[in-house]
Structure 1
Amino acid sequence: MIYLGGEAEVVIGEVVVKKRRPKRYRIREIDEILRLRRTRTEAKLISLARRIGVPTPIVLDVEGDTIVMERIYGTPVKDCMSEEISREIGRLVAKLHNANIVHGDITPMNMILSEGKIYFVDFGLAFVDNRVEAKGVDVHVYFESLKAGFENWESLKKAFVEGYLELGKEEVIKRAEEIEERGRYVERRLK
């Protein structure tokens, strides 16, 4: 299977091969530097997340703009979401944030349930940041993905918050709510 994303081409076979694609609108030399740097950062953060207890694929090789990873067999979380799963996602995101890892794209599309564990499989937008604002945006992205994909999004959000607060900081949840309010304010102003 081949998936073309905004940043990369992903080939899924016995292993997963993710190759960042060149951006034609960038100066070639700058594009190459950015792709190499982002690939290395992604591989490092996948490995760091795994070391702190967040299930991720094992990075098998990194060369240039390409990462080769273990393939995780299982069910996409978007297809089996429940309050229990959302609560566990909250715990795992809190672990990431406690290590100052901001995922950048926390959605059920980027997680696989396998053998009772939730694997985070895409760290393409991840970065290191200790600011509450960055972590709040991370949580807000998850909340928005719940609203867009699930009728019972409110109970899933509540379960996530419960899980997050077992290990994480309340100020991050409050910031996510402030970010949501900012969005509502802008929405009201545009009407």
Structure 2
Amino acid sequence: MELTNGAEASVRMENGLVVKERIPKRYRLPELDERIRKERNRAESRIMSEARRLGVPTPIIHDVENSMIRMQYIPGTALKHVINEELSERLGELVGLLHTGGIIHGDLTTSNLIYYNDRLYMIDFGLAFMSPAVEARGVDVHVLFQTFESTHRDHESLAKAFCRGYRRSFSGADEILERVTEIEKRGRYA
């Protein structure tokens, strides 16, 4: 059963597991394409595993093979359908844990979180990378705030709730949130 198709990968159910398979790019040399897809798979798997070690719920990875990742299926609801201030604050705590560990999600949206059994699970680490940079962390949070603004009516209260949780779990939160404000200003005048 096909779950979703993106520019980089297809995601389907197979034997009760989610299978994420990176799509070959015909414009690349086949050898280069295969190497890139394998490397991106390994990197995504490593970062997801590290996120779990930091206390961020993610699907459990069962197998990584060439351009495929087989992982646990989380049968919940996308956060975008159930978000409220409490869940946004909890999201802030999770992102704070990620950023404390130097992980940048790269696609932090309410579609990439699943709410299940009173827990938030972070999914789709396909654009994730490791970085201690203030700018990278700021862009991560900025993307989330843009998602709040474009998708949720009460975006300002969601952002404030996120900040409470983020500050609670990440000691450098204020510097990052100041950078988010700078990034927003850059976007307005570009």
TM class by shorter chain equals over 0.9
Give 1:27 shift.
Answer: 2.1
Counterpart among 154, 173, 176 of residue 177 in structure 2? 173
**SS across alignment from 1:137:** helix
Whether 1:158 and 2:141 are equivalent positions in the alignment is no
Report matched runs for 1:117-136 at 5 Å: 117-136=119-138
Whole-angstrom CA distance in 2 between matches of 1:154 and 1:23: 40
Aligned counterpart, 1:143: 145
Aligned counterpart, 2:45: 43
Whether 1:72 and 2:78 are equivalent positions in the alignment is no
Which structure 1 residue ranges, 4+ long, deviate > 4 Å from structure 2?
none
Structure 2: segments with no counterpart, 5+ residues: none
What is the percent sequence identity of the aligned residues? 48
Structure 1: segments with no counterpart, 5+ residues: 187-191
Aligned counterpart, 1:6: 7
Residue identity matched to 1:4 = N
Aligned counterpart, 2:84: 82
TM-score normalised over the length of structure 1: 0.95
Whole-angstrom CA distance in 2 between matches of 1:183 and 1:131: 19
Residue identity matched to 1:162 = R
Give 1:12 shift.
Answer: 2.4
Whether 1:30 and 2:32 are equivalent positions in the alignment is yes
Whole-angstrom CA distance in 1 between matches of 2:150 and 2:25: 29
Give 1:29 shift.
Answer: 1.9
Whole-angstrom CA distance in 2 between matches of 1:167 and 1:182: 27
- Deviation sequence 1:13-35 (CA, Å, 0-9, x none): 51100000011122222211111
- Residue correspondences, number: 186
Counterpart among 175, 184, 188 of residue 188 in structure 2? 184
Whole-angstrom CA distance in 2 between matches of 1:17 and 1:25: 24
